[in-house]
Amino acid sequence: METQQFSKIIDTIPIFSGTPRENVHEWLELVNLKFDMIGYNAVQKRRFVPQYLSGDAPKWHLSHRDQLDGWDAYVVALVAAFPYVETTSRDMNLKMLRDRKQGVLESFTVSVCDESHNARLEIKMVLLV
């Protein structure tokens, strides 16, 4: 019975990929809680945490695993490597605008202004490939 409960706890541990949108502090808090519920000690936490890493996080782990033996040192280094960046909606909107890619069949508008005659011409086009 206890083994089934441990299995359920292990299955619900979230994956951390190291993106700036992910809060490494919240992730570590949850991982610590679940590892404590299972009864893992610091050595076991350090040994099993890599299976919950994806994206850039396992790359970081592989390049630092030999220097970071203890769980506490590992946690401090992980937090330093993947700081959580809290962004405002304005920042997110600017990023979305900067990263925007036009779709293949998406129309676009070309505006031409002639200030000397207060004239404006707008042409809407669809590029067909």
Break the chain into its structural domains and give their ranges.
2-81
What distance in Å separates the CA atoms of residue 74 and residue 23, rounded to the nearest whole number?
A: 16
User: What SS3 class is residue 52?
Assistant: helix
Question: Mean pLDDT across the chain, nearest whole number?
Answer: 84
Is residue 120 pLDDT above 90, yes or no?
Answer: no
Question: pLDDT higher for 94 or 74?
Answer: 74
pTM value? 0.64
How many helices and strands (H and E) does the chain possess?
6, 2
pLDDT of residue 44: 96
What distance in Å separates the CA atoms of residue 106 and residue 103, rounded to the nearest whole number?
A: 5
DSSP type of residue 50: G
